Structure 1
């Protein structure tokens, strides 16, 4: 885990691979809870029998937005940012979904620090996020996550 105490320490990480989180299994219960929370009950996510019989993946798949919502959880396994008065999930850019995450797949986040800038006391950090799927060559997604920090 990377420990970051201030802007200067963050800036030194610019252009480097911050690290990789531990593996997280996305099970059907998590998919169903996400479907309930977002009111997105499309059969490819929640109907196990139909997905197995009619679906292109022979199983249910996680919502793309479910996999995106794991970024804060997985990021906290990679970096501990200390001395922060406030942290804001500011945005996401250039995200592309490569392959679906099937039920019971294990995923992890690989994070590279693309840029770190001090904007008059607010530190803007752009992290290139890649969600890897165990035993898959292509990532589930790649894109940039933007965090704002007030140290």
Structure 2
């Protein structure tokens, strides 16, 4: 049996189960400011703590939704390692994504992954779909929920 077939068989047994929970990471004002500069999205609700405290219901600045989403890669590194025979992993995109709760500066986040599907696309490519929930410590509602596709590439 090939490495891809072994990985597919293992993945099929995990469908519907939580397959990883990441470490917590703090989203502080410095991270938000650096993201704002990098993306050229310097809207005041992200980078002006005084104004955001006065003029928003959030009590201060909030992270960009795309900053929160970009941490998905970090969370995946915490949760997944390469499978036997895998030569690389590729972010294949999102089917669904919803930002449910703003992330206030200073919040701690972590990712939870539940495998939803696994399919061999060809002799080398395993497509896995995970539901990613990014939690905010101390909040009932998550920051976001996404259906994330990852492609695992195996040797021939």
Shorter-chain TM-score bucket reads over 0.9
Matched with 1:20 is: 21
Instruction: Quote the RMSD (CA, aligned, Å).
Output: 1.3
Taking structure 1 as the reference length, what is the TM-score of the superposition?
0.92
Q: Is the 2:118–2:127 Cα contact (8 Å) retained in structure 1?
A: yes
Q: Which moved more, 1:6-15 or 1:26-35?
A: 6-15
1:143 to 126, 146, 150: 146
Q: CA deviation at 1:36?
A: 0.7
- 1:2-151 alignment runs, 5 A limit: 6-82=7-83, 83-121=85-123, 122-151=125-154
Q: CA deviation at 1:78?
A: 1.4
Taking structure 2 as the reference length, what is the TM-score of the superposition?
0.89
Structure 2 portions without partners, runs of 5+: 1-5
Q: CA deviation at 1:149?
A: 1.0
Q: Is the 2:82–2:88 Cα contact (8 Å) retained in structure 1?
A: no
Whole-angstrom distance in 2 between the partners of 1:62 and 1:105: 9
Q: CA deviation at 1:9?
A: 2.4
1:104-146 deviations in Å (ceiling 9; x for gaps) = 0011101100001001121000000001111101011111010
Whole-angstrom distance in 2 between the partners of 1:59 and 1:18: 34
